[in-house]
Structure 1
Amino acid sequence: MNDIDVAIVGLGLAGSATAWALSRRGRSVAAFEAYGPGHRRGSSHGRARIFRRAYLDPLYVDLTGRAGRLWEELNASAGEPLLTRTGGVDHGPGREPERMAALLRDHGVAAELLDPAEAAHRWPGVRFTGPVVFDPEGGVLDPEATMAALARLAAEAGAHLAYDTPIRALEPDPTGVLLHTDEETWHARTVVVAAGGWTGPLLDGLVPLPPLSVTQQQVFFFDRTDPGPWPTIVHGETTLDVYALPEGPYLKFGAHVGGTATTADDRDFVVDPAARESAIAYARTWLPGVDPEPRAELTCLYTSTPDEDFVLDRRGPFVVCSACSGHGAKFTPLIGELAADLVDGRPPIARFALR
């Protein structure tokens, strides 16, 4: 039997970051991923996610600052720009621009509050009808390049990474947990479960979790007719909660809310025609700088808590690392450090603790 300090279940963004954080701390680490590197069955695939400081919640504004510093360290360690600062804009009454700008400034962010005419002058590819917050620290991160870099760095630090190796059962014993794969059994004193939509089934009967809803979301890619530069965009109206960001020659677009309830194993990967029509209508109204007919589309998974906070806590030999709810990617290197802290016996952030 293979005996190690820490096993990690899941090698998406959160699991990969945890593998690197723990291996750098001198722990013996084995990490298991049910599918191959860069697979598209979960939440971490693709080439673009938003990084932003712009939250209306002081906790997340603070955490994004910590995450941003760790991204810069990760960029240097990886030797490539995994996070590129483009700046980000938030607009619409649902984003409370005046309050958001004040909160960002209180946290040392050089945020600007712009009127719609000034914002339209800077970004003519976007339509604005009210005040706009510009977050100069916003940007775009590359999930697939980040996972590859974190996996390489973790392996160089001594971690054992096993892809195409699903964990079939987790079995606590007096000194830790047995992890059963199809081929062998491993023993770990601590197990970090960072398995996205598979977290609930894996920990069923082992750790009491809050309700975790798994939804299939749709993402659309529009050709950019305005060459830019483009910021990241978050837009909140009465019936809108959407985001957009540059990805290569395209503008990636999606709705943060909605989605089809599913499970990680039962999703159908089929884009909802109603979501496509809604995306086209949005582009025609709010994005004059794109061709409103999508060039491409795909689906991904959200795994969400009722309040959209993360779950980062420890129960016995299990560390639950469910940094999700559709906004976890930007925190990737910080999530790895926080999960490693839990392995080392440090307390969780109170908001992220299991109840």
Structure 2
Amino acid sequence: MTRVDVAVVGLGLAGSAAVWALSRRGRTVAAFEAFQPGHRRGSSHGRSRIFRRAYPDALYVELTGRAGRLWNRLEEESGESLLDRIGGVDHGANGEPELMAGLLADAGVPFELIPPDAAAHRWPGMAFEGPVLFHPEAGVVDPERAMAAMTRLAASAGADLSYGTRVDALEPYDDGVRVRTARGTWDARTVVVAAGAWTEHLLAGLVELPQLTVSQQQAFFFAPREPGAWPTFIREDEGAVYGLPEGPLVKVAEHGGGGVTTAEERDGIVDPAARERVTSFVRRWLPGLDPAPRDELTCLYTSTPNEDFILDRHGPIVVCSPCSGHGAKFTPLIGEAAADLADGLPPIDERFTLAAHRRPES
């Protein structure tokens, strides 16, 4: 039996960030991933996620700044370019661009609030109604390269990473947690559970979790009609649709709206109704794209009711569930928060605690 300071379950974005943060602190770490690197079973695969500072919530604006500085540190330590700051656009009747502009101003984040005609002139492949918020610090994160960079740095610092190793059980005891796998058993002072859609199953009977809804989402890839630069973008009307460049194509997807499923039962089949909704959106709001999808994929969201993260500790178990469809941009900060909890420090914010999630909404 091997004893380590911390065991980490899951090596998606959150787990990889936790391993990197813990290994930098000199902790002995064993990490377990049920699948191989680059698998498409969870929430972290693919080559693009949006990084943005614009939120209608001052807490998240502040946290994106901290995350951005840690992205810079990861790039410096790994020698990799992982965050391409191409700028981001927010618009739509329910997108609250003026509110977000005010919060960015309060935080000292550069931005522009642009009339729709001027925005259409600047980005001729897009159509607008109402004010348009642009902030240049937004960009695109490459999740697969980021995970590879973080795990490489962690392994070079001595972390033991086991892929293709499913955790069968967690058994808390007086001095820590026993982690049982088919390949052996590890004892850890603390375990960080960053298992995404598998979190509820793994922690059943160990931690009282809030409702976690697993849904299968889909994204579609469209070809620009003309060469040119595209920002990241989010339009919110009745629902939210986002997009960002990925290679020569532009990825467009709905935020939410996917069918409820489980990690084991998801079928990986794109919903035709979602395809039609997104292609209709492209025809209306993205005239610079050919509305025939060139490619498509599915992934999983694991969401809390209010889309706040869960970052808290219960006994020797750290619950690290930063998904809800907007966690990727915070990746290196999530790792630091998980490492703080493993070291016995307070949660990054009271809103992310288990107790806060269990409170009835007022």
TM-score (normalised: structure 1): 0.99
Counterpart CA distance in 1 for 2:30 and 2:38 is: 18
Amino acid at match of 1:270: I
**Count of aligned pairs:** 354
Amino acid at match of 2:211: P
- 2:167 aligns to what SS in structure 1? coil
Q: Deviations along 1:235-254, whole A, 9 cap, x unmatched?
A: 001x2311000000010011
Amino acid at match of 1:265: E
Aligned to 2:71: 71
- 2:318 aligns to what SS in structure 1? strand
Q: Deviations along 1:117-139, whole A, 9 cap, x unmatched?
A: 11111111111111000011000
1:303-318 equivalences under 5 Å are 303-318=302-317
- 1:95 aligns to what SS in structure 2? coil
- 1:180 aligns to what SS in structure 2? strand
Task: List alignment gaps of at least 5 residues for structure 2.
Answer: 356-362
1:58 aligns with 2:90: no
1:40-189 equivalences under 5 Å are 40-189=40-189
> 1:228, CA displacement in angstroms?
2.2
Amino acid at match of 2:294: R
Q: Deviations along 1:179-206, whole A, 9 cap, x unmatched?
A: 1111211111100000000000000000
**Contact 2:61/2:104, CA 8 A, preserved across alignment:** yes
**Contact 2:256/2:325, CA 8 A, preserved across alignment:** no
Q: Deviations along 1:166-225, whole A, 9 cap, x unmatched?
A: 001111121111111112111111000000000000000001111000000010000112
> 1:227, CA displacement in angstroms?
1.9
Aligned to 2:279: 280
**Contact 2:190/2:316, CA 8 A, preserved across alignment:** yes
**Contact 1:178/1:187, CA 8 A, preserved across alignment:** yes
- 1:93 aligns to what SS in structure 2? coil
Matched residues, percent identical? Answer: 66
- 1:162 aligns to what SS in structure 2? strand
Aligned to 1:254: 253
Task: List alignment gaps of at least 5 residues for structure 1.
Answer: none
Report the more deviating stretch, 90-99 or 160-169.
90-99
TM-score (normalised: structure 2): 0.97
Amino acid at match of 2:129: T
Aligned to 1:345: 344
**Contact 1:88/1:232, CA 8 A, preserved across alignment:** yes
Counterpart CA distance in 2 for 1:338 and 1:48 is: 23
Counterpart CA distance in 1 for 2:63 and 2:345 is: 17
Amino acid at match of 1:41: R
**Contact 1:123/1:228, CA 8 A, preserved across alignment:** no
Aligned to 1:293: 292
Counterpart CA distance in 2 for 1:96 and 1:173 is: 48
Aligned to 2:265: 266
Aligned to 1:208: 208
> 1:279, CA displacement in angstroms?
1.1
Cα-Cα RMSD: 0.7
Counterpart CA distance in 2 for 1:259 and 1:345 is: 37
Amino acid at match of 1:89: V
Counterpart CA distance in 1 for 2:76 and 2:89 is: 26
Counterpart CA distance in 2 for 1:199 and 1:240 is: 27
Counterpart CA distance in 2 for 1:300 and 1:260 is: 11
Counterpart CA distance in 2 for 1:240 and 1:192 is: 34
> 1:229, CA displacement in angstroms?
1.1
**Contact 1:218/1:272, CA 8 A, preserved across alignment:** yes
